[in-house]
A and B are shown apart, each in its own frame.
Chain A
Amino acid sequence: MMLSIYSIKTILFQGKASLLNCKTIMGEITVLDNHEALITALDAGIIKVIDENKKEQFFPIKSGFLEVKPDSEVRCIVEQ
């Protein structure tokens, strides 16, 4: 899936990723390829991303939003 994570200061992540794990205000979710279309608000916590090279990346956030589009495109805007 194409994943982009934007913060107000910079672009934290942009590119292909195989997994995204984050904490929403309803609980923790993991987004994989072909996820259902979803919009939700994120809670304070750590976003975990596994990119194409199977490398793990972590981004701590204070709050934010997650949008999963129907065509495997995922977008986050976060506040750090």
Chain B
Amino acid sequence: MESPQNIKKRLRSVNNINKITKAMELVAATKMRKSQEIALASRPYAFAALDFLATVSTLNQELPELFNKREVKKVLFVLVSSDKGLAGAFNSSVFKKFEKHEKEYPASAKGFNIEKEEKFFVAVGEKANNYLVKKGLKVVKKFVQAGDYTTPEQVKPIADFVVEGYLEEKWDRVIIISTHFRSTLKQEPHVRRVLPIDFDHVKETVREIIPERGKFADSIKECQITFVPDKSKIRDYLIEPSGKEVLEKLAKHLFFMQVYHLILEANASEHSARRMAMKTASDNASDLGSALNLQYNKSRQSKITTEISEISAGAEALS
């Protein structure tokens, strides 16, 4: 049997790990809650922006470039992951989804020249960059430190970069692969086409801001925005300077908002994935700790028994 000293040493380190993972779990839980709150705080803005888009687009039939579908020759993929590890399957599930999409997409799009499509990649988060570089793919740009809770200032460069590239026809379609926060226990990687902008896609993103279950799930469930607005309701709006210009600006705002939300959601998912991973880790550590404790007591006990039997044997030999 192992010596009690050795077991004691191992026991101590297991207990330390337990403490560390426990602390990380608590931190991740708080951060998760906070990022959910931030996501919810921007809901009124998101709804108002959508409503705006609905009104303006009925008044003005000419859609700006960001809405127009054009022949797809170049595709941009944006992979949203975390900067740090220790978040369970959070990052790998995004990458797996991406690989699956790669495999399945050509089959679903018959009649298109998929082979001709050129692919570009943007990495959000250190882990996505590492993954893409390892696979030997073309990373156009990487954005790191999207933070624990992203801020509009941090998202702006990402959104601007993507929109500018699109307008300069560097790519004709933009796909974002990120994690959708369904509830604290469940996160799913989603593949979303963000450019060209599609009304339904934007609407879906806004709807998804509320998690399905949990503290914020029942906050707000109203807000029906349709993109088939009542013609009678629309009176003569004065649009300054012109419908087209307003729509163009609005499209950029909406796109920015969508990216902001996707990243915010990825943040919330990261924290909750990390929380779950740390919870499992600390559970395991405490299991291991109690097993080691038992082993330690047993080995101590057996040592004492041996000593006693030696003493009594010695005493017997003397008498």
By a beta-carbon cutoff of 8 Å, the part of chain A in contact with chain B is 4, 6-11, 24-26, 36-41, 63, 65, 67, 70, 75, 77, 79-80
Distance (Å) between the CB of A53 and the closest chain B CB?
Answer: 23
- Complex alpha-carbon distance, A37 and B55, angstroms: 12
Contact with A along B54-75 (1 / 0, CB 8 A): 0110010000000000000000
Given contacts A9-B152, A37-B235, A41-B246, contact A26 B240 (CB under 8 A): yes
With A10-B42, A38-B239, A41-B249 given, name 18 new contacts (CB 8 A). Answer: A6-B45, A6-B48, A8-B42, A8-B45, A9-B152, A11-B41, A25-B240, A25-B245, A26-B241, A37-B235, A38-B237, A39-B237, A39-B238, A63-B249, A63-B253, A65-B49, A65-B250, A77-B48
Q: Which residues of A contact B206 (CB under 8 A)?
A: none
A15 to chain B, nearest CB (A): 13
Taking CB as reference atom, which chain B residue is nearest A25?
B241
For the complex, what is the distance from the CA of A39 to the CA of B244, rounded to whole Å? 12
B314 at the interface (CB under 8 A from A): no
Q: Using a CB–CB distance below 8 Å, which chain B residues touch chain A?
A: 38, 41-42, 44-45, 48-49, 52, 55-56, 59, 151-152, 235-241, 245-246, 249-250, 253, 257, 260
Residues of B within 8 A of A24 (CB): 240
- Main SS class of interface, A: strand
Query: Which A-B residue pairs are the 7 nearest by beta carbons?
Result: A40-B240, A6-B45, A38-B238, A6-B44, A37-B237, A8-B42, A77-B48
Some 25 contacts from A to B, beta carbons below 8 A apart, are A6-B45, A6-B48, A7-B45, A8-B42, A8-B45, A8-B260, A9-B151, A10-B42, A11-B41, A25-B240, A37-B236, A38-B238, A38-B240, A39-B238, A39-B240, A40-B239, A41-B240, A41-B249, A41-B250, A65-B49, A65-B52, A70-B235, A77-B45, A79-B253, A80-B152
For A8, the chain B residues whose CB sits under 8 A away are 42, 45, 152, 257, 260
> Measured between alpha carbons, how far is A39 from B260 in the docked complex, in Å?
24
Out of A7, A36, A39, which one reaches B246, CB within 8 Å?
A39
Is B237 a contact of A77 with CB atoms below 8 Å?
A: no
User: Which chain B residues lie closer than 8 Å to A65 at the CB level?
Assistant: 49, 52, 246, 249-250, 253
Chain B residues contacting A67 (CB-CB under 8 Å) are 52, 55
Contacts of B151 in A (CB 8 A): 9
Distance in angstroms between the alpha carbons of A75 and B151 in the assembled complex: 23
Whether A10 contacts B246 by the Cβ 8 Å rule is no
